[in-house]
């Protein structure tokens, strides 16, 4: 039984619910497996929104269900480039804050990189 003000439990997002985010996360998990091989794949978790719109907020989480940072904006699911940038940013936030390590690292400089849109 839950108390009135308990936070709801997150639920794992089923494959196919958000196909564009699934595709973006699959690319990121491929990179994660190469750069941090001991880390299990990231996953999408959903929580009910606090807004009255009835939608869920979706987060990028570690395999154990921990996440950090902002949720994915629904509008990004319309465009793969936007979705990839947003999912990559959320994944980086979760990995960096929960594992306490920069990811991904620049091969040349050994410093953390950040996703951004680039022309072409």
pLDDT at 20: 95
pLDDT tens, the chain, 120 aa long: 445 566 778 999 999 999 999 999 999 999 999 999 999 999 999 998 777 677 889 999 999 999 999 899 888 878 898 899 999 999 999 999 999 988 888 888 888 887 776 665
Note whether residue 67 is domain-resident. yes
Cα atoms in the Cβ-side hemisphere of radius 13 Å centred on 17:
13
Range of the domain at 93: 11-99
Structural domain count of the chain: 1
Q: How far apart are CA 67 and CA 13, in angstroms?
A: 14
Q: How far is CA 24 from the centre of its chain?
A: 9
Note whether residue 104 is domain-resident. no
For position 70, which CATH number holds?
3.30.160
Note whether residue 52 is domain-resident. yes
Note whether residue 109 is domain-resident. no
């Amino acid at each position: 039984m839950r108390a009135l003000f308990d936070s709801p439990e997150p639920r794992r997002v089923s494959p196919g619910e958000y196909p564009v985010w699934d595709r973006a996360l699959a690319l990121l998990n491929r990179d994660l497996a190469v750069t941090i091989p001991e880390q299990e794949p990231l996953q999408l978790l959903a929580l009910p929104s606090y807004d009255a719109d009835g939608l869920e907020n979706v987060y990028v989480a570690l395999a154990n269900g921990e996440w950090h940072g902002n949720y994915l904006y629904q509008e990004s699911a319309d465009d793969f480039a936007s979705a990839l940038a947003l999912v990559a940013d959320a994944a980086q936030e979760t990995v960096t804050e929960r594992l306490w390590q920069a990811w991904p690292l620049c091969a040349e400089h050994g410093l953390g990189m950040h996703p951004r849109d680039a022309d072409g």
